[in-house]
Amino acid sequence: MEVHSRGKNVRVSPRKVRLLLQPLKGRSIDEATAILRNLPMPVARRVEKILKSAAANAENNYQLAPDELRVKAAFADEGTRLKRFRPGPRGRIKPWVRRFSHITIIVEDRG
């Protein structure tokens, strides 16, 4: 059975999140948590929180054993964009875009 958890509008670009989601696929929850704890990126804490939420959803809503779960898929989609403008040279403006991500983690039981 597949169970998912989603973090919406996380304030980091999807490209940065995808770099640390790649090694999680196919790992157990404990291994994936250990990988995320040892990464120096601040967004790893947020991804770890989403991973724990998916495991808790599986345990509480579907009575699946947490030690039998593994990460089936983990991906980051483009979220909303915060668009602002900054002053540029000679009276012009420069666009300034802050990207957001929707992070989804899907876990399933091994059996």
Read off the pLDDT of residues 63-100 as tens digits, 9 standing for 90 and up: 999 999 999 999 999 999 999 999 999 999 999 999 99
Dump pLDDT digits (tens) for 14-71. Answer: 999 999 999 999 999 999 999 999 999 999 999 999 999 999 999 999 999 999 999 9
Residue 74, Cβ density class (10 Å: 0-12 exposed, 13-18 middle, ≥19 buried): buried
CA–CA separation, 99 and 82 (whole Å):
7
From the number of C-beta atoms within 10 Å of its C-beta (0-12, 13-18, 19+), residue 51 rates as buried
Statement: the pTM of the whole predicted model exceeds 0.85:
yes
Candidates 3.30.70.1230, 3.90.470.10, 2.160.10.10, 3.40.50.720; CATH matching 2-109: 3.90.470.10
